[in-house]
Structure 1
Amino acid sequence: MDLSIRVIQDGDEYQVIIECDGSTRIERAQSIDSLINIVSNDIKELLTMKENTEALKPSDCVLKGWYIRLPITKILDILAYVVKEDGENPTERLLSYLDVHGLSRSNYRVIVPTLSALGLWRQGELTREAEELGKAIINNNQDIPNQLFNIAIKNCILRDALEGLANGAPINEITKSMGLTRRDEINYTTNLLEMLMSSDGFKCLRLAKSISNYLKSGGCLAEVEPVNACIMDNVVTIFNYLINNKGFHMVGLLSDIDVNVNLSLITTQVNGDHAIIMQSNKPVGVLVGDIVVTNNNYAPKARETVDRLEPMTAKIMRSNNLSFSMVVVPIIIKG
């Protein structure tokens, strides 16, 4: 359990900031006794929530709470400002943002928990991911949705939401399953999820889910958009399916090579645009592939893809002294 408690004295008043596994609470107290009582009650409640969550759903997620009170565009704007401004204290830079934009400093109490839930703020500091994302925003980097996706999936609730969306669930059902009740919270979460769905990371997740579901139950493949970054991972998934479920046919395909292949000992190691096929941890072959999306007249596109990949397999075989190569080209036919 990652727990941080900071107390700030502001005149006759005390402000306490409690951060626990991505959930942030900001409380105020008029006296030391009141402060101790508030901290004690909050910690008890957080511990109870943690125990209940872990009992219901064990998880290795880093962040297990969700809180949002700002639109994602405002979050990114704040992040860019805090990263760009000079000064050692991120809190002061955040307060400066509020001052410059004519906003009450009390907004700090909703900004910090929102940033914390996204893994962008921890113990009074911007996280490394927040710094990198802020620089990307300042530089108008087109990779922002991808960076944000990689940050968001560290939050258990967002990760589950994205997995549900990747499986085809409507976004309104997802926000309902998250237990959101406030209208602003629902709208801000919806906008965030829509941005995340535009990322390559989400497209890869949706492609992987679609292929996995198809291999398990058949039927029609959900509409997907192959992304270069994860083509090879999905080719390996299909290769493993063939090894485990179509072994008889695979043995036939491999019957004329120089090495005696034992399918039960076969593993793969992805290496960029190809994967090395291992047998008992010894490299024996190379696997390459691509995913083709086409219409019913798929043969020309498939042949073109294989012709493009074959020279690469020959080169990898020679340079690694491998015995064979396999080209896997899944074809998705648009209805």
Structure 2
Amino acid sequence: MDLSIRIIQESDEYQVIIEGDGVTRILKARSINELMSSLNNEIRDLLTTRESSDTLRSSTCTLRGWYIRLPVAKLLEIVTFLVRNRQGDDTENLMKYLDSHGLSRSNYRVIIPTLSALGLWKQGRITREAEELGKAVIDGAQELPNILYRIATRNCALKEVIDRLAEGLSINDAIKLLGLTRRDEINYTSNLLEIIMSSDEFKCLQYSKTLENYLKSGGCFIALEPPRNCVLNQVITVFNYLMNSKGFYMMSILSDVDVTINLNLVSTQLSDEHALIIQGGKPVGALIGDVITTNNNYAPRAREAVDRLEPIATRIIKANNLLFSMIVVPIVIGDECPKVKAYVMVGNKMGDWIARVFDLP
């Protein structure tokens, strides 16, 4: 294992950046004794467990520990400067930024740990994520909140907070999970989270968690319409629920079009704007769909959606030589207590189709 440990002292506090084996950890300590104890624990953990090679590499987050001492606007300004001036040494370019803005070079002591905690700085250089973020700022891209969402969810501490926010926890309560005590850190983190919560990525996560909770517990389904780029996620969630909870009825409609599959071996795999239905490692079907919000007279809207999707489903069957296609349309019925139904239509490669409506959960 190749570890890089950097210790930066800022007034009465130490910041520690540990990099190596695919993970970055950010520590804070207020005394040498606390610093040595934290280092001892972290290094023992890395050397004596399989966490670094197994758990962390398989996880969607690879950054441990949260640190922020910069306003988000200043953070974006610094990253943009470094991307614009991406020639030579990035550390020296950071010093040029500080000099050109009349700032003390000692400010690097809070800039480097903040960038590292977001995966924007590693081993003395800005990362690919920093380049993407800087270019988005330069281009004035609408995607900036989504990019910040993806960057933030690589930090395990922030990812947990974002998950809890999507479940309905307030920003103030969610931030308490990070154990922040300094007012500036709390304010900067709040600002970052507010930007992230405006992203389509977060709204998609929020909708997914609301739907998953509804499918588990029932009750009233309270959710906004999902962003277009995450409709398929919701279709897959409902498909998995139907396969696991209403398997007998799903097998029945599949057999009506002469399709036999083992529900216990079925999984899905995203492929462009549809999902492949996999059995035993082999694609056997395709899954597409849409989410519609309507009233109790849902049939016309559902039929319109299915009529629009059927030619696409037929084309996917032929293009991929599949046994069948399945169209799943979750229908949110707005009322005092909104409910969800699922319009399911299955067709085989011979052109035979059959449909059924399911009450959910």
**Letter aligned with residue 40 of structure 2:** L
Q: Distance in 2 between matches of 1:254 and 1:86?
A: 57
1:23 aligns with 2:21: no
1:150-299 residue pairs with structure 2 within 5 A? 150-299=150-299
**Letter aligned with residue 171 of structure 2:** I
- Does the 8 A contact of 2:268 with 2:275 survive in 1? yes
In the superposition, the TM-score normalised over structure 1's length comes to 0.84
Deviation at 1:25, TM superposition (A): 6.7
Q: Distance in 1 between matches of 2:122 and 2:16?
A: 10
- 1:313: which partner in 2? 313
Q: Distance in 2 between matches of 1:286 and 1:230?
A: 17
Deviation at 1:52, TM superposition (A): 8.4
Q: Distance in 2 between matches of 1:233 and 1:178?
A: 29
- 1:46: which partner in 2? 39
- Does the 8 A contact of 1:292 with 1:301 survive in 2? yes
- Does the 8 A contact of 2:148 with 2:196 survive in 1? yes
- 1:325: which partner in 2? 325
Corresponding residue SS for 2:77: helix
- 2:357: which partner in 1? none
For structure 2, the residue ranges without an aligned partner over 5 or more in a row are 9-13, 19-23, 336-361
Deviation at 1:90, TM superposition (A): 1.4
- 1:67: which partner in 2? 67
Deviation at 1:48, TM superposition (A): 2.4
- Does the 8 A contact of 2:27 with 2:38 survive in 1? no
Corresponding residue SS for 1:283: strand
CA RMSD of aligned residues (A): 3.0
Q: Distance in 1 between matches of 2:7 and 2:219?
A: 58
Corresponding residue SS for 2:255: coil
In the superposition, the TM-score normalised over structure 2's length comes to 0.79
Corresponding residue SS for 1:67: coil
Over 3 Å counting, the alpha-carbon distance change for 1:167 and 1:41 in structure 2 is closer
Deviates more, 1:86-95 or 1:113-122: 86-95
Q: Distance in 1 between matches of 2:268 and 2:6?
A: 48
For structure 1, the residue ranges without an aligned partner over 5 or more in a row are 9-15, 28-36
Deviations 1:32-65 (A, max 9, x none): xxxxx96x9735423326778999x976431111
Deviation at 1:186, TM superposition (A): 0.8
Deviates more, 1:57-66 or 1:221-230: 57-66
Identity among equivalent pairs (%): 54
Deviation at 1:294, TM superposition (A): 3.0
> What is the aligned length?
317
Over 3 Å counting, the alpha-carbon distance change for 1:2 and 1:296 in structure 2 is farther
Q: Distance in 2 between matches of 1:217 and 1:176?
A: 27
Which structure has greater strand proportion? Answer: 2
Deviation at 1:279, TM superposition (A): 3.2
Corresponding residue SS for 1:322: coil
Deviation at 1:5, TM superposition (A): 3.6
